[in-house]
Amino acid sequence: MLRFAIQSKGRLNEESLKLLKDSGINVDDSRRKFLGQASDYPIELLYLRDDDIPEVVADGSADMGIVGFNEIAESMADVEIVRKLGFGKCRISLAVPKSVDYNGLEWFDGKSIATSYPSILEDFLSKNGISARIRKIMGSVEIAPAAGIADAIFDIVSSGGTLVSNGLKEVEKVLDSEAVLICRKDLPKDRLEIRESLLFRFDAVQESRGKKYVLMNIPTDKVSEAMFLLPSMRSPTVMPLALEGWSSLHSVVDDSSLWQTVEALKRIGAEGILILNVDKVID
């Protein structure tokens, strides 16, 4: 049995559960439970506040977990970062009231900065030779300047909308973050096999994200031109149709280039184009 920690509620909860579910691990997600058991896989889920996950994995109370990289950087917990997971993307930045005529990091000298990430901030300021007062606040950091609690803030930013609505502007990005899969350093040998199986499944799910399976009919004399347009995993599958002079072409295409590719294929004579979701990719 492997114990796996995820956020009990909040921004990473849903995507963490989705990754497990897409990996065929059915977990009881009635969030009130502290400990949940998968019905068909040797894993039990520990639902925690995100701040507690790095330490709980570092001390072996949980074997693996999913948490924002920012929480690892802040806690400096001694864990192995196994994979970046591609969701929960954000950055931690310094922001000041928008009326400030900001001219560089020296502006922060002698100022007070509110944050829930004092260690990351302290490290950044000392590396840059800035001496500022750090005020640790655990929530609603963005209201600190307007409330007269601090001159500036150091907080999580994604779109920047929260900053703007609080009359602030981002002036320095300090750290990029996303959800990461972590593992305790001394994972007992009897759980290594479960870890490998989990990674195999997570990788297959992640590989499939942002990919589409495209099928089309195309005049056989256009096949080589079409193959040039299709960046497939190895090489596209080409099969003759019963109709003389036509072929069926199958390939995997990234979402990012999907429409461009399909339009180009249509221009050279492709017909009956089908675009399907890819559920898993096993390399």
Residues that bind ligand ATP (CB under 6 A): 7, 10-12, 49-51, 68, 70-71, 88-90, 156, 158, 177
- Exactly one of 22, 29, 44, 51 binds Mg ion (CB under 5 A); that residue is 51
Q: Identify the helix (H) or strand (E) that includes residue 129.
A: none
Q: Given CA atoms 205, 273, 257, 250 in this order, what sign does their dihedral have?
A: positive
Least Å distance, CB 96 to ligand ATP, is 19
Near Mg ion in 168-187, by CB under 5 A: none
Strands 168-177, 90-97: parallel, antiparallel or unpaired by DSSP? antiparallel
* φ, ψ (nearest 5 deg) of residue 113: -130, 125
Tokens matching residue 235: 């090489």
Least Å distance, CB 31 to ligand ATP, is 11
Nearer to ligand ATP (CB atom), residue 165 or residue 224? 165
Q: Which residues contact 90 (CB under 8 A, 6 or more apart)?
A: 68, 70, 156, 157, 158, 177, 178
Nearer to Mg ion (CB atom), residue 7 or residue 247? 7
Least Å distance, CB 227 to Mg ion, is 50
Least Å distance, CB 175 to ligand ATP, is 10
Site string for Mg ion, 54-93 (x = CB under 5 A): ----------------------------------------
Least Å distance, CB 183 to ligand ATP, is 18
Burial class (CB in 10 A: 0-12, 13-18, 19+), 110: exposed
